[in-house]
């Protein structure tokens, strides 16, 4: 196709002077020169330039111009600092989510296997951190999984909602690019689309109805985008803090522990200690992740009109630190969930200690079925329960309620059924069935997109 087969502005082809036409022209040799030096970054020179210019982007523009002297006059043409900074941040947010999502999927996978393995193992439930009705070890893990699954859906949605700032100019009007293209609006939109697609923001089946660049911006993209991204990371931090706190509480009861290496030392003074340091680390970092959410909330609130610089220094810290912190705690949690240790005998002992109290209603029901009076039975079992509780609390003894029931002639009609009445599996309701259905219908489908990455082992420096 020759030059006469394409549209040419008459301003250039007929009227403009050669000097002015050249001034607004970009030649292929200039682009080629910049492409050949794209990776030649002299950070030392950039640091010197920034110390003089007090502007990070312009420091790199001057440094790049040193590498590309021919192209120097057109570098950064029509752009603003936020064209560089904001678009880069959006790429980093997108890529950050792409790193975190497979890691979260692996945590969910490991915890799913744990839940399935222990779906039917009865354990004491706790409300107000006081013994309550029984649940199962696997069902409790499903409570953790439910929150993690919610986090995965939130992170995926936040990632899919991200768009590119694109080519918008100094206050978002694209005025400089409209001038470069001599009033051709279509070319400005084409440039915006091309740059957006080159950055990897392309339409998918999910987002095909959206422009992959924000249609309107000020000098910056809306800082509510940062709120949206970091709020879901902070929410995941709350999830992980709760999971690791639960494990720490159970470790105190010696029911469940995080992995503990053969030569690991729990305390420099107390040689017997087995401290849950990995869970403690997760909790410590999760608090930092949660606290970081305050930054984008306040930053968005003080983004005056088209833009102020209140955001710059803060975002350099809050954005990367949120993703780095989320990455660390997910890696640590994967290590924890790959090696959780369960002590069924300890769990069984705790159940035996509390179950007689919990079984009082079942004993009353059995006595009524055997012909007894509900009110009489209730009073009998109340008195015996108080006596047994006194032994436990005042004397430090074991719960002897069952022995007291067996010794009381009133309960003779049901003595042959006590073992069945006190079988822990009769107290867990539909917990095993709930686990199976939850894993099958909600958790496993969520992991399908990550099947190729699910078996990756974690390299963790502890």
CATH label of the domain that carries residue 67: 1.10.275.10
In this prediction, residue 291 carries a pLDDT of: 97
Number of domains in the chain: 3
Around Cβ 82, how many Cβ atoms within 10 Å?
24
In this prediction, residue 273 carries a pLDDT of: 53
Same domain, 318 and 375: no
Same domain, 226 and 313: yes
In this prediction, residue 268 carries a pLDDT of: 47
* Residue 191 neighbours by CB under 8 Å, 6+ apart: 167, 177, 181
Same domain, 255 and 278: yes
Q: Is the pTM of this model over 0.85?
A: no
Full domain range(s) for residue 73: 17-77
> Does residue 3 fall inside a structural domain?
no
Task: List residues bridging with 124 in a β-sheet.
Answer: 134
Catalytic residue list contains 267: yes
**Choosing from 13, 25, 36, 267, which is the catalytic residue?**
267
In this prediction, residue 1 carries a pLDDT of: 52
How confident is the model over 262-312, as pLDDT tens digits? 555 554 445 445 788 999 999 999 999 999 999 999 999 998 998 888 888
Same domain, 280 and 136: yes
Give the pair of three-digit tokens for residue 398. 């074991």
Element (H, E) at 316: helix 312-337
Residues of the chain short of pLDDT 70, as ranges, are 1-26, 75, 77-79, 203-210, 261-273, 462
**Choosing from 5, 17, 51, 128, which is the catalytic residue?**
128
Name which of 262, 237, 244, 78 is nearest 170 in CA terms. Answer: 78
Same domain, 256 and 333: yes
Same domain, 261 and 326: yes
- The residue among 299, 318, 344 that closes a domain is 344
Catalytic residue list contains 76: no
């Amino acid at each position: 196709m020759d030059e006469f087969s394409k549209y040419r502005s008459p301003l250039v082809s007929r009227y403009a002077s050669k000097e002015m036409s050249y001034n607004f022209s970009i030649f292929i040799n200039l682009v080629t020169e910049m492409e050949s030096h794209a990776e030649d970054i002299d950070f030392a020179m950039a640091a010197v330039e920034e110390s003089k210019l007090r502007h990070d982007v312009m420091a790199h523009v001057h440094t790049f111009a040193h590498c590309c002297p021919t192209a120097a006059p057109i570098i950064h043409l029509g752009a603003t600092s936020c064209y560089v900074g904001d678009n880069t941040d959006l790429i980093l947010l997108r890529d950050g989510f792409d790193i975190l999502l497979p890691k979260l999927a692996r945590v969910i996978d490991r915890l799913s296997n744990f839940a399935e393995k222990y779906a039917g193992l009865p354990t004491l439930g706790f409300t107000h951190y006081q013994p309550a009705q029984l649940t199962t070890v696997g069902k409790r893990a499903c409570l953790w999984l439910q929150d993690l699954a919610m986090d995965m859906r939130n992170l995926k949605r936040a990632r899919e909602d991200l768009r590119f700032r694109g080519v918008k100019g100094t206050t978002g009007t694209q005025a400089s690019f409209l001038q470069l293209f001599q009033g051709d609006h279509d070319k400005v939109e084409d440039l915006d689309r091309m740059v957006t697609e080159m950055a990897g923001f392309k339409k998918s089946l999910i987002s095909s109805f959206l422009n992959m660049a924000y249609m309107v911006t000020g000098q910056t993209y809306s800082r509510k985008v940062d709120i949206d991204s970091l709020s879901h990371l902070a929410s995941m931090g709350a999830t992980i803090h709760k999971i690791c706190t639960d494990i720490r509480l159970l470790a105190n009861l010696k029911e469940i522990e995080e992995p503990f290496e053969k030569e690991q030392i729990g305390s420099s003074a107390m040689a017997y200690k087995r401290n849950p340091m990995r869970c403690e680390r997760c909790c410590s970092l999760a608090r930092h992740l949660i606290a970081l959410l305050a930054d984008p909330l306040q930053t968005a609130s003080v983004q005056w009109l088209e833009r102020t610089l209140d955001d710059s220094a803060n975002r350099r810290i809050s954005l990367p630190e949120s993703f780095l912190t989320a990455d660390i705690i997910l890696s640590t949690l994967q290590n924890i969930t790959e090696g959780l240790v369960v002590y069924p005998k300890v769990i069984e002992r705790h159940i035996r200690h509390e179950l007689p109290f919990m079984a009082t209603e079942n004993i009353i029901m059995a006595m009524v079925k055997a012909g007894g009076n509900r009110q009489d039975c209730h009073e009998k079992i109340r008195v015996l329960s108080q006596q047994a509780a006194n032994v436990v609390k005042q004397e430090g003894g074991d719960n002897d309620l069952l022995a007291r029931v067996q010794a009381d002639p009133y309960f003779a009609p049901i003595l042959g059924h006590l073992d069945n009445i006190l079988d822990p599996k009769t107290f867990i309701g539909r917990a095993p069935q709930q686990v199976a259905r939850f894993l099958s219908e909600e958790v496993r489908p969520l992991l399908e997109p990550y099947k190729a990455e699910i078996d990756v082992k974690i390299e963790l420096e502890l």
